[in-house]
Amino acid sequence: MKENKMGTMEVRRLILTMSLPIMISMLVQALYNIVDSMFVARVSEAALAAVSLCYPIQMIMVAVACGTGVGINALLSRYLGEKKREKASQVAMHGLFCAICNWLVFAVIGLFFSEAFLRLFSDDVQIIMMGISYMQICTICSFGVFVQITYERIMQSTGNTIYNMVIQGVGALINIILDPIFIFGLGPVPALGTAGAAIATVIGQIVAMFLGIIITQKKIREVQLSVRSFHLDGMLMKAMYRIAIPAILMQSIMSFMTVMMNMILAPFSEMAVSVFSIYYKLQQFVFMAVLGMNNALIPILSYNYGANQMERIRESIRFALWMSCVIMAIGTVVFQLFPTQLLYLFDAKEAMLSIGIPALRTISVSFVFAGISMVLCSVFQALGSPNHSLLVTLLRQMVILLPLAYGFSSAFGLDMCWWSFPITEVLCALLSLYLLRSVQKRVLLQLQ
């Protein structure tokens, strides 16, 4: 039987070959997010506001899908490393079962609670009506994104990451092509505004889902997906969600942090809130590259954990940290040297530049330290310490960051508020490195 490359290929080459396709696909996804916002902004300010209000729900859906995927990824790769293919196949089937369940939950939320959610933030009837149509389409048809992400994680777990690039790239490109057609109308297609943006989004997701199904059936031999052989296993679900729940919470925290930061910045001006939103979209191009590498790192570490290969685990961690620091350093240089040009992408005027230039330069000081924490959070997930990941993420996004941001903004003003990001990331990077030592000692004892 052919050996899985995650246990045999030279570590640096393995991480690069598995990471690059995921990085590219995630960068395409980041590009789509920005282009999507640009198209909607051309409809009206109300349309952009409606879509922006729905964005936290979309972030939470992706968080649930990707967080569940982390549980699938870690457990499936570990069973493959232990040569337990039947168990690995059961993990994949349980992942698909969870994807359907998650879709049903969000479909119900979108169908019955969209208006109530939007009224928490706005009394504008136009914004609410556009938001309802957008949110209901995205949630009711969210089976595409849940199943798509599950198949992507199955492929990652077996070391086949090139297909992720194809799946996400095709879905994102279809979305970008359909956006202007459905938003502004073309030929027989009427102008649908925000509803058109939602339709373009879900069509891209559904096409990507079917592509994932076809590729998995044709190309992935390590895992056999069969409804007939599926039997619900409570212990397996518990093991999967022991890893998945912290990952879901970690990825959901970002949406809550964004809402809280907006509340801190709103007293200064609406422009301050807009600048933070723009920063968040721009930093995705840097952070997505590290996240792409982390998506490859988790199955590599999990596989070698299951195969008792401690030296490969150590080498993988060292190289991933080095790569992360390089990527984040490049991002810092770009933000330091070209903040004006980055803001011009969003038609920035003098008011936005006066706030945005110091914001981008100050926050980007934190990038390298953030990269260290991000890599080590993935290490903790893969090596059976998901609570360490949750702790670091809570500190990074909520517990340290928000009180600092509020205190600095209240006492020293807006420019000082941005320094809460570098201070938080330095503290959390130091904590992550400390926690890594204890995790490595525990894993070494288990493997002896």
Q: Check residue 263 and give its pLDDT.
A: 78
CA distance linking residue 2 with residue 222, whole number of Å = 10
Q: What are phi and psi of 280, to 5 degrees?
A: -60, -40
Rounded CA-CA distance 56/77 in Å is: 31
pLDDT given at position 367: 96
- Predicted local distance difference test score (pLDDT) of residue 207: 94
Q: How sure is the predictor about 284, in pLDDT bands with cuts at 50, 70 and 90? A: confident
* pLDDT, position 1: 46
Q: Which two tokens stand for residue 374?
A: 């991000």
| pLDDT at residue 211, rounded to an integer | 92
| The one-letter amino acid at 27 | L
What phi, psi does 189 have (nearest 5°)?
-85, 120
Find the mean pLDDT for residues 123-142.
Answer: 89
- 77 contacts 4 by C-beta, under 8 angstroms: no
Q: What are phi and psi of 186, to 5 degrees?
A: -155, 125
The tokens describing 262, both together, are: 């907006």
In a 3-state reduction of DSSP, which class is residue 334? helix
Residue 444, token pair as written in the block: 């070494």
What are phi and psi for residue 64, nearest 5 degrees?
-65, -45
| pLDDT above 60 (res 101) | yes
- Which tens digit of pLDDT belongs to each residue from 175-186? 888 989 999 988
CB 90 within 8 A of CB 230: yes
- Residue 2 has what pLDDT? 52
